[in-house]
Amino acid sequence: MQRHFENILQELKSALIKMASMAEDAVEKAMESVLTENKELATQIAHGDEAINSMEIQIDSLIVELLALQQPVASDLRLILAASKINNDLERIGDHAVNLAESGMVINTQGAPVTQKEDIRRMSHLARRMLSDAVDAFVHLDANIGEAVVLMDDSVDNLNRKVTHELMEVMKQEPESIEQAIEFIRVSRNLERVADLATNIAEEVVFIARAKVIKHHAMDAPPK
């Protein structure tokens, strides 16, 4: 029974890593479609979310099987509980990749890009780096990497506020750019959500590795 449990646990880890790779790829290609006006790539991502959804269901089944097999020790239980949350976070990242691709499809029909495109590019780089590092933290169960990801989130939040403010001004001054500006605001907000979900994953890694909760700035709380 123990050997079977360990095999399923390893299968769970492998499935999560595969799903994470799929989510990373979806976000990267979606943003490529936005920034290079690649309509075909946008269409591919917008209609390609089924594989990630299928992985979510498969991982849910593995988690149920693990919990049904036996009472896990504390470290394994933390991994299983965190895996359930990470699974949900990765599925939501896939949804945001679709949203990004859909915005790309609209932007690609609207001609010249707005001036905030470079800030969007920076946001994309940061959010994708956070996701990649959070996945790396999970692969190696490295709490230090996880904590570093959490600290990066403010930079994406600040860029999101900057982009949104500037695009609101664009809409006031250039009414003909309203539709495109709205789509870039949507891109910015979806990237901010990807960064938030990457932060969630990083926080779960710290929970697995150290049995320590750092959500809601608990990492910064003074010791009692």
What is the distance between the alpha carbons of residues 133 and 27, in angstroms, rounded to a whole number? 14
Cα pseudo-dihedral 205, 88, 101, 174, rounded to 10: -80
Six-digit token string for 30? 């979606």
For the cut 80, the answer to whether the pLDDT of residue 108 exceeds it is no
pLDDT tens track for 51-65: 999 999 999 999 999
Q: State the pLDDT at residue 223.
A: 41
Q: State the pLDDT at residue 75.
A: 86
CATH of domain 2-220: 1.20.58.220
Six-digit token string for 111? 């001609």
Task: Tell me the pLDDT of the chain averaged across its residues.
Answer: 89
Contact 15, 58 (CB under 8 A): yes
For the cut 70, the answer to whether the pLDDT of residue 160 exceeds it is yes
DSSP line for 5-17 = HHHHHHHHHHHHH
Supply φ then ψ for residue 15, to 5 degrees. Answer: -65, -40
For the cut 50, the answer to whether the pLDDT of residue 221 exceeds it is no
Contact 100, 34 (CB under 8 A): yes
User: Domain-by-domain residue ranges, the chain?
Assistant: 2-220
Q: Which residues, at least 6 apart from 37, have a Cβ–Cβ distance to it below 8 Å?
A: 104, 107, 108, 113
For the cut 90, the answer to whether the pLDDT of residue 176 exceeds it is no
Q: State the pLDDT at residue 45.
A: 85
pLDDT tens track for 142-158: 999 999 999 999 999 99
Q: In terms of pLDDT, which residue wins out, 55 or 38?
A: 55
